Amino acid sequence: MLDFHRDFKKAIDIAEKVFEELPTFVKIGISEKEAAQKIRSMLKKHGAKKESFRIIVAAGKNSTKIHGFAGRRRIKKGDIVMFDFGALYNTFRSDITRTYIMGKPTKKHKKIWALLLKAQKGAIEKIKAGTSCKVIDLTARAIIKRAGYGKNFIHSTGHAVRHKIHEYPRIRSKSRGVLEEGDVVTIEPGIYIKGWGGMRVEDMVLVTKRGHRVLTRLPQTLTLNPSPRGRGI
């Protein structure tokens, strides 16, 4: 099976370690900005040169923003909180998103999350060298649309990432790109509902000749419980 650069693996590992440590400092009352500052510090502590891109910590109504960069809002009980960040290690970048509920998830939280995981899995299953990026995007989009949330999925399904955070090919409905062996792409479906909140899940996937390998191993849980990394999808 095709391997990938060890520095790329390190960039992913660093980001995942910080995600695993979120429960140690993300508490009720902390501000988005304070959480982002701590994430930045911990990325460097674990060996990153810096964060891959501007860290997203979006709580409550701010989670409806695709790029909900950290602000002054303090995290409250019951909030949806979206975390989107990665590590820059040497020249390689990682990019991972998880969405957590500060408290007990409601039926709607669980429903939307399950739908996102289903859409992500469907898209990932299509990944292999020679596949059209358009097909992958439309696969995720169709699953979400059939569930009645098509208008709430308002961005592309993903993008390639390596030395820059957004590289080609882009995984979107109008893309003319085709996946090649060795590409690393993100698959990140999201649903954003005005007045309720937004949720997104994002993992990194290596394209192989006959299929794919999910590189991220971070659990896809809705609660901030410390737990070891698993196999991913």
pLDDT band (50, 70, 90) for residue 68: confident
Contact between 197 and 61 under an 8 Å Cβ cutoff? The reply is yes
pLDDT band (50, 70, 90) for residue 224: confident
CA dihedral sign, ordered 61, 98, 207, 147:
negative
Please tell me the predicted confidence (pLDDT) of residue 226: 53
Chain-centroid distance of CA 194 in Å reads 20
The angle at the Cα of 87, spanning 130 to 48, to the nearest 5 degrees, equals 135
Print burial letters for 192-201: b (CB count within 10 Å at least 16), e (below 16).
Answer: bbeebbbbbb
Residue tagged 């911990």 (tokens): 42
Is residue 70 packed enough to be buried (19+ CB in 10 Å), middle (13-18) or exposed (0-12)? buried
Starting at the earlier edge strand, list the strands of the sheet with 212-214.
167-171, 158-160, 184-187, 203-207, 212-214
pTM over 0.75: yes
pLDDT in tens, 174-186: 999 999 999 999 9
Average model confidence (pLDDT) across the chain:
94
> Taking the CB of residue 133, how many other CB atoms lie within 10 A of it?
28
pLDDT band (50, 70, 90) for residue 196: very high
Q: Rounded distance, CA 22 to CA 20, Å? A: 6
Query: What domains can you pick out in the chain, each with its CATH number?
Result: 6-214 (3.90.230.10)
